[in-house]
Amino acid sequence: MKTSLSGTRPLRRVAATLALLVVAAFSHAAQAAYPEQPIKLVVGFPPGGGGDLYGRLIASEMSKTLGQTVVVENRAGAGGNIAADVVAKSKPDGYTLLLAMSGNLAVSPALKPASLPYKPGDFAPIGLILEAPHGLFVASNSKYTDGKAVLNAAKTHKLSFASTGTGGAAHIGMEMIRQRAGVDMLHVPYKGSGPAITDLIGGQVDMFFATASPLMGQVRQGQLRVLALTGAQRSPALPNVPTFRELGVDVVVTQWYGLVAPAGTPKDVLAKLSEHLSRALAQPEVRDAIRKDAAMERNLPLDKFGRYIAEDIARYKSAATPELLSQIAQ
């Protein structure tokens, strides 16, 4: 008895369709089940630092809605670049994330890409968390009482500014201000804000340029004054402090934090993580914790965050003068 080929073709098509439906069903079930185990958030700071506190804040809040614990793993060193390298080389399954920041995903890729073991394309954006302005600080007994006075004085006197390290986000931000204001200042790098503040109060340096949030305690206690801030608009926590843009110096770079995953992480997983990050940022207690120290939450998900990173890299590249690159290379 002969079997008709034309009769078997519909059967084959039905079988193939059923197989595809079974695969799709299993795939959907696997996606719907994410996350099935705890998620690791790698933070490039030691416990207790500013970035660590923000990482733990978001990890705790996202744990409540994801149904799985988000565990913070501290991998400090090299300005956050060690943590970034760990995540870049991790399995892209949504279970290893990075607390990205302007230092390791914008400044370093812009100014010293050849020295990095990773590149921005090794990551998939999940969402921006917050922006914290950089501030120009002086000791409470300084003769300088406003940012405009400092910039004017710097045109006739060689003033000095401290930072927490050559090539860091704050150092580059101040170099951008110096360039665009047309002033010459001596950069004095320190290994941490503690010794920088000690010398600032002691009069060894004129100014300290740093991310504002960690220094708000000293401002409230009257040890320091902040004269101007970066950013597109004034901080609600410091409404009387002008932005550099208001002073005629168009520098808006900030210290930002966000979440990224290894490149290749499934889009549905990224979307789920982004959704739960947005939920976390909408919580009043999270907003209050971020805003109390002059930072501001920013709900910028997925591709919008990716474009934000690319634009920030371009801003830092614009500051890459031969003089600055020479400083960083030393």
Are 193 and 142 part of one and the same domain? yes
Are 156 and 249 part of one and the same domain? yes
Are 181 and 241 part of one and the same domain? yes
Q: Are 208 and 200 in contact (CB under 8 A)?
A: yes
Structure tokens at 267: 């889009």
Strands (E), the chain: 39-43, 70-74, 96-101, 123-139, 159-163, 185-189, 207-211, 224-229, 254-262, 296-301
Structure tokens at 227: 């004269």
- Among all chains, which residue has been given the structure tokens 């991310």? 211
Does residue 9 sit within a domain?
no
Q: Which helix (H) or strand (E) holds 154?
A: none
Does residue 176 sit within a domain?
yes
Does residue 177 sit within a domain?
yes
**DSSP-assigned letters across all residues of 217-250:** HHHHTTSEEEEEE-SSS--TTSTTSPBTTTTT--
Does residue 229 sit within a domain?
yes
Does residue 207 sit within a domain?
yes
Are 208 and 138 part of one and the same domain? yes
Question: In angstroms, rounded to a whole number, what is the distance separating the alpha carbons of residues 1 and 7?
Answer: 14
Given 205, 232, 253, which residue is the final one in a domain? 253
Given 253, 275, 301, which residue is the final one in a domain? 253
Are 138 and 50 part of one and the same domain? no
How far is CA 54 from each of CA 5, 170, 228, 273, 277, rounded to the nearest angstrom?
Answer: 66, 18, 24, 17, 13
Three-state SS for 192?
A: coil
Q: Which domain holds residue 90?
A: 38-132+254-317
Given 197, 223, 253, which residue is the final one in a domain? 253
Q: Which of 80, 59, 79, 78 is nearest to 70 (CA)?
A: 59
| CATH at 140 | 3.40.190.10
pLDDT of residue 26: 47
What is the chain's pLDDT, residue by residue, as a tens digit (330 residues)? Answer: 444 545 555 555 545 555 555 444 444 444 568 999 999 999 998 888 778 999 999 999 999 999 999 999 999 988 899 999 999 999 999 999 999 999 999 999 999 999 999 999 999 999 999 999 999 999 999 999 999 999 999 999 999 999 988 888 899 999 999 999 999 999 999 988 899 999 999 999 999 999 999 999 999 999 999 999 999 999 999 999 999 999 999 999 999 999 999 999 999 999 999 999 999 999 999 999 999 989 999 999 999 999 999 999 999 998 888 888 887 776
Does residue 126 sit within a domain?
yes
Query: For the chain, what is the largest distance between any 2 Cα atoms, rounded to a whole number of angstroms?
Result: 106
Domain count, the chain: 2
Are 225 and 139 part of one and the same domain? yes
Are 215 and 306 part of one and the same domain? no
How far is CA 105 from each of CA 18, 37, 96, 116, 273, rounded to the nearest angstrom?
Answer: 45, 27, 17, 11, 19
**Which DSSP symbol is given to 265?**
-
Are 237 and 289 part of one and the same domain? no
Q: Are 175 and 187 in contact (CB under 8 A)?
A: yes
For the entire predicted model, the pTM comes to 0.86
Does residue 276 sit within a domain?
yes
Are 197 and 248 part of one and the same domain? yes
Does residue 138 sit within a domain?
yes
Question: In angstroms, rounded to a whole number, what is the distance separating the alpha carbons of residues 8 and 315?
Answer: 63
Q: Are 318 and 238 in contact (CB under 8 A)?
A: no
Are 211 and 245 part of one and the same domain? yes
Strands (E), 144-245: 159-163, 185-189, 207-211, 224-229
pLDDT of residue 79: 84
Are 238 and 160 part of one and the same domain? yes
Are 215 and 125 part of one and the same domain? no
pLDDT of residue 24: 46
